[in-house]
Structure 1
Amino acid sequence: MNLDAVRTFVAAVDAGQFQDAAAALSITQQAVSKRIAALEKDLGVRLFTRTARGTHLTVDGQTFLPHARELLRVEARADASVRPGRRALRVDVHSRRIAPAVLLQDFHRAHPHIELDVVTLDADVHAAMAAVEAGTVDATFHAVTVAARHLPAAIRTTRVIDEHHELLVGPRHALANARSVTPAQLAEHRIWMPGLAPGTEWADYYDELAAAFGLTIDLVGPVFGNEALLAEIADSAELATLAGVRTRYLWPDSYDLRRVPVRDPSPIYPMSLIWRDDNPHPALAALRDHLASRRVQAAGTEVWLPAWAHLS
C-alpha cells in the first residue's frame, strides 16, 4: 500500500477539501485527486463521494480512516526507531555497578532530553568493539590494550575514565582502620577476586598490577555473585578485594565493610569510550563532550598505570 496515498487520504479528511489538503501537503490539487484515485483502485472501494458542495467519506472511507491513521503512526515509529537523532543512543556499560554506568547516569541528569538505551553486553573489549563495529551498539566503555593503529579502521577511542582503587575489607581485617594503604602494604595480604576471567583486559590489568607490586591475587573459589563475595569478606579477618572508587556496592549495615583508598602510588584502571567514526547520531557527540568535561585527573598524585595505557 502506498503510504503517500494513505497520508493524502488522511489529509483530505482532516482538511475537508482536496484543495486544502493539497496546500497542507505542498502538492497540487490534481496530485491529491490522483493519489486518492490510486488508493481507491488499490482497495477496490470508493472512499469519498464527490458533490458540488465538496467531498464526503463513504461508509468504506469511514471504516478505513482509523486504520489509515494507525498506518501513519506505525510508519512514524518505525522511522524514529532507526533514524539518528530520533532513536535512543545505545551504550554498553558492561556492568551497571561500575564507573561507566555512574558517568552515563550523570550524563542523563545533565541531558534529560536525550533518550538512552543502556545495555550490558557482558563482553571483553574485543567482543564489545565488534558490536560497535557491527552497529549493535553506538558506543561502549572498555580498557583499550592495543595501539590505535591496530584497531579496525572505523573504530575511534578516547580515554575518558581514570578509575582509582579502594581496598574493600571487613571490620576484623588488619587494614580495616587504615586511612589509606599503599600497594606495597597490600603485598602482605590476600586479594580475593574469584571469577576474574583469564584473557580479558581486566585480567591482564590485574596480572600486571600484581607483578609490579608483588601482590597475591587469589582467583580460587566458585562465583556466587557480588552479594556472596561481600558477605564472605565481611566475615573474614584475612580476605580483601579491590574495587573502583565509583563502583556501587550495597550491603547490610551489620557487615560494617570498609573502603580504604589505595595511594602512593595510586593504581589507575584507564577506560576509553569506543565508537565508530561514521556514526551520525548527534547524541554521541554530546556524550563525548560530557565525558571529556567530567574526566578527573588528580593533580600532584603519584599514580601507577599499566604499560598499555601509554600506547598511541
Structure 2
Amino acid sequence: MDTEAMRSFVRAAELGQLQRAADELGVTQQAVSKRIAALERELGTRLFTRTARGVEPTLDGQAFLPHARSVVAGADRAVAAIRPGSRALRIDVLGLRSAQAVVLHDYWRSHPGIELDVVTLRVEDPRLAVDAVRAGDVDASFRSVTDLSALPPEVRQVPAFDSPLELLVGPRHPLAGARTLTPARLHGYRIWIPGITPRSEWARFYAELGAAFDLHIDPAGPNFGTEVLLDALADSADVATLVGARDRYVWPASHDLRRIPIAGPALVYPLSLLVPGTHAHPGLRPVLDHLAGLAPPPEPAWRPSWAPHAR
C-alpha cells in the first residue's frame, strides 16, 4: 500500500481541503486527488465526501484514519532511523570492550539525551571501513589508514586519542609483581596477540613495535575471543599480552590477572576516526571536541610511524 497516498489522505482529512493538503505536501491538488482515488480503489470504498468547504471523511474514512496515521508515522520513523542528520549518530568501534567504546560511553553519560548508536563493523581491512563511511553506512569509524594517500577525497582521517598500552599477565608470570615496566623489561618474553590480521592497522602497529624494541610479538593461532585469552594468561607462567589502558576487561577473581603500566617510554596506540569529508552528521563535532579534551598519555612516548608526532 502506497504510504504517500495514505499521507495525502491523512493530511486532507486533517485539513479538510485537498488544496491545503497539496500545498503542505509540495504537490499539486491533482496529484493528491489521484493518490486518494487510487487508495479508494485499492480499499474498495470511498474515503471522502465533498462539502461546500472541502472534504470530509466518510464513516469508512473515519475508521481508516487512525490506522493510516499510524502507518505514516511508522514510515517516518523508519526513514529517520537511517537518514544522516535525523537518525542517531552511528560510530563504528573495534569492540564493545575497547577503549573507543569506553570513551564513547563516558561521552554518552555526560551528555544525557543525545542519540548515539555504537556499532561494530565485521571488517578487518580498514579500506572496508572507509567504504562504509563513504557510503553513509556509519558516520565515523575508529580505524586508521596507515597510508593517507590511499584515502578517497570523500573521507578524511582525524586524530581521536592516544591509547597507552599495559602488560596483562597471570599471577605466576615473572613480571607479575612489577608496579611499572619499561619496554626494555619486556625483551625476551612472549607477548601473545592471537589472530593479527594481515593488512590491518594493528598488524603494522605490532610489526613496528616489535622491531623498535626487539619484542617477541606472537600472533600464532586463531583468535577464539577475549575469554579464552584471559584463561590462557591465568594458567601460564610465561605468556603475556598487551591491552589498552582504557580497554575494559572482566575476568573471574580466581584468575588474579595483573595490568602493569608501561613507561619510559610509554607505548602508545594512536586511535583515529574516519569521517566524511563533507556533510558530516551534526552530532559528530561534539564527539570530536570531547575526544580532543581527553588527557594525553605520559611522555616520553613511542608511537608508530604513521601517528602524528611519532617518536
Q: TM above 0.5, one fold?
A: yes
Unaligned runs of 5+ in 1: none
Alignment deviations for residues 273-297 of structure 1 (CA, whole Å, 9 cap, x no partner): 1111123421122222222222x22
- Of all paired residues, the percent bearing the same amino acid is 49
Question: Is 1:223 the equivalent of 2:223?
Answer: yes
Aligned-pair distance for 1:158?
Answer: 1.2
Residue 309 of structure 1, aligned match among 299, 307, 310 = 307
Q: How does 1:85-96 map to 2 (within 5 A)?
A: 85-96=85-96
Task: State which drifts further: 54-63 or 81-90.
Answer: 54-63
Does the C-alpha gap of structure 1 residues 164 and 11 become closer, same or farther in structure 2, counting only changes over 3 Å?
A: same
Aligned-pair distance for 1:55?
Answer: 6.3
TM-score for both structures, normalised by structure 2: 0.85
Question: Is 1:144 the equivalent of 2:140?
Answer: no
Q: Distance in 1 between matches of 2:224 and 2:51?
A: 77
Name the structure 2 match of 1:297: 296
* SS of the residue 2:307 aligns to: helix
Name the structure 1 match of 2:198: 198
Cα contact 2:144–2:157 (8 A) shared by 1? no
Q: How does 1:1-312 map to 2 (within 5 A)?
A: 6-7=6-7, 9-11=9-11, 13-14=13-14, 18=17, 22=20, 38=34, 41-42=37-38, 43-44=40-41, 45-49=45-49, 57-122=57-122, 123-147=124-148, 149-294=149-294, 296-298=295-297, 301-310=299-308
Measured on the aligned residues, the alpha-carbon RMSD in Å equals 2.9
Task: State which drifts further: 199-208 or 110-119.
Answer: 110-119
Q: Distance in 1 between matches of 2:79 and 2:17?
A: 27
Unaligned runs of 5+ in 2: none
* SS of the residue 1:199 aligns to: coil
Aligned-pair distance for 1:160?
Answer: 1.3
Q: Distance in 1 between matches of 2:152 and 2:54?
A: 62
Alignment deviations for residues 241-300 of structure 1 (CA, whole Å, 9 cap, x no partner): 111101111111111100000111111110111111123421122222222222x2246x
Q: Distance in 1 between matches of 2:51 and 2:212?
A: 90
Q: Distance in 1 between matches of 2:224 and 2:53?
A: 77
TM-score for both structures, normalised by structure 1: 0.84
Q: Distance in 2 between matches of 1:55 and 1:128?
A: 52
* SS of the residue 1:308 aligns to: coil
Cα contact 1:125–1:201 (8 A) shared by 2? yes
Does the C-alpha gap of structure 1 residues 200 and 4 become closer, same or farther in structure 2, counting only changes over 3 Å?
A: closer
Aligned-pair distance for 1:12?
Answer: 5.2
Q: Distance in 1 between matches of 2:130 and 2:51?
A: 64
Q: Distance in 2 between matches of 1:36 and 1:217?
A: 68
Cα contact 1:5–1:39 (8 A) shared by 2? yes
Aligned pair count? 302
Alignment deviations for residues 40-73 of structure 1 (CA, whole Å, 9 cap, x no partner): 5332443334567996532332343234213421
Cα contact 2:9–2:36 (8 A) shared by 1? no
Q: Distance in 1 between matches of 2:54 and 2:219?
A: 81
Q: Which has the larger radius of gyration?
A: 1
